Structure 1
């Protein structure tokens, strides 16, 4: 049984999936030449070099693969795994007027009718979020073209609440140590001397940076907190984009919108210890509210209209 938490009634607009907007959650993998955003909107491209006797352009370090299983309670080593998820299109329910709060991420009209856009408005209910506390997870779509007009997929993510927001006495261990958390074990003499300045080992007058501070923000441990539902976000992706969730990032299972199945190759680490590989939280609406809902507006061709962030309203992915 997954952990459950009460969910406020909140409607989320859709944003374009771009690296600047997604940075705190992970990495967007795409060929910059295929992006519909301007260079300033999509951020700087990764470094590149010529390859294959000059017949190819090789982009370097396009995502961050992280294995944090050394921090897992079981200490059981992990291995790299590659799976395939065959994802069917999700059922969307018809739009209906709501008393839900609009998300702070976009200016959306909750009570607009289907007549306000020629394609119609549909709703997707977010009922579960998951995280992989010790590993990144990369989803690579197969057989979905960049210009596919009838099938896209949503990437739904949420920040992590501070550790202090976690209820005391929860019957499961935290997913990993919160950075900066003091250890209860007695320090060794070497550790004590290492904190002295200048250091007796290096003569350095400044303390070494914490190991986590050298990581990309999306790679750093997130702590044991539950998802921050008031800051949940939804991005629409094309077939030319893959996505990496940073270790510990709360996200919804993949959501395909349209009329065909999408195959995703998924790359991650795993040690086969259930709670260390994957943790889930079930979202239960408060009272008679509808809970967390992604608002999906479509044009006559069935393509999703972007209502928030870079390229909003004008963009049709």
Structure 2
């Protein structure tokens, strides 16, 4: 039997245990006006964490900013509720030694964020594994070690700026976990 997980809108509060939400709606005590008062800047909305000094190889990590074009995933109508759709996931990944941030770069944007707590294997128990619907004004940052689904954009291709650290050792840059049973994300 396929497990079903219902996605909720991405919010700073609901997502906090997995990382951070990147948005101009975020303000903190360090928010200031810049550019002659025409822009508001909030520094350090999410961390950029590099833990490669603790990796088995000890190879240092470097910061990279990549451009990524994500193609839409195949979705289906969800028959239990008219107007809802579903996407099935088969694999989770994690980056043990770095944060990984995705910032959409314009256009029509809707993507799913699926995450669970860090650990040697993903915790798929109820209340731990969560799914969120993110929109064009929201970027997402996965904390180091957080298991998450690969990028899942809906309806249209989406360009992202991706910020993370890498050390070039494949087993340290990314781990994969293949699920025994697919998980259906309803949104």
Q: TM-score of the superposition, structure 2-length normalised?
A: 0.92
1:19 matched to which residue of 2?
12
Please give the secondary structure, in 2, of the residue aligned with 1:24: helix
Between the aligned partners of 1:247 and 1:159, the Cα distance in structure 2 is 10
**Structure 2 residue 186 is the aligned partner of structure 1 residue 284:** no
2:27 matched to which residue of 1?
45
Query: Contact (CA 8 Å) 1:81, 1:267: kept in 2 or not?
Result: yes
Structure with the larger strand share: 2
Q: TM-score of the superposition, structure 1-length normalised?
A: 0.55
Q: CA offsets per residue over residues 30-55 of structure 1, 9 Å max, x none?
A: 112xxxxxxxxxxx732311212222
1:83 matched to which residue of 2?
66
Aligned-residue Cα RMSD (Å) equals 1.6
2:170 matched to which residue of 1?
274
1:69 matched to which residue of 2?
52
1:59 matched to which residue of 2?
42
Structure 1 residue ranges, 4+ long, deviating more than 6 angstroms after superposition: none
Query: Contact (CA 8 Å) 1:51, 1:57: kept in 2 or not?
Result: yes
Query: Contact (CA 8 Å) 1:19, 1:28: kept in 2 or not?
Result: yes
2:90 matched to which residue of 1?
127
Query: Contact (CA 8 Å) 1:138, 1:242: kept in 2 or not?
Result: yes
- The alpha carbon displacement at 1:93 in A equals 2.7
Between the aligned partners of 2:8 and 2:85, the Cα distance in structure 1 is 16
Please give the secondary structure, in 2, of the residue aligned with 1:126: strand
**Structure 2 residue 123 is the aligned partner of structure 1 residue 228:** yes
1:216 matched to which residue of 2?
none
Query: Contact (CA 8 Å) 1:157, 1:250: kept in 2 or not?
Result: yes
1:239 matched to which residue of 2?
136
- The alpha carbon displacement at 1:113 in A equals 4.5
Between the aligned partners of 2:64 and 2:44, the Cα distance in structure 1 is 19
Please give the secondary structure, in 1, of the residue aligned with 2:57: coil
**Structure 2 residue 142 is the aligned partner of structure 1 residue 159:** no
Please give the secondary structure, in 1, of the residue aligned with 2:32: strand
Please give the secondary structure, in 1, of the residue aligned with 2:13: helix
Between the aligned partners of 1:133 and 1:77, the Cα distance in structure 2 is 14
Query: Contact (CA 8 Å) 1:46, 1:61: kept in 2 or not?
Result: no
Greater Rg over alpha carbons, structure:
1
Using a 3 Å threshold, how does the CA distance of structure 1 residues 19 and 113 change in structure 2: closer, same or farther? closer
Between the aligned partners of 2:44 and 2:183, the Cα distance in structure 1 is 35
Note the residue ranges of structure 2 that are not aligned, 5 or more in a row.
Answer: none
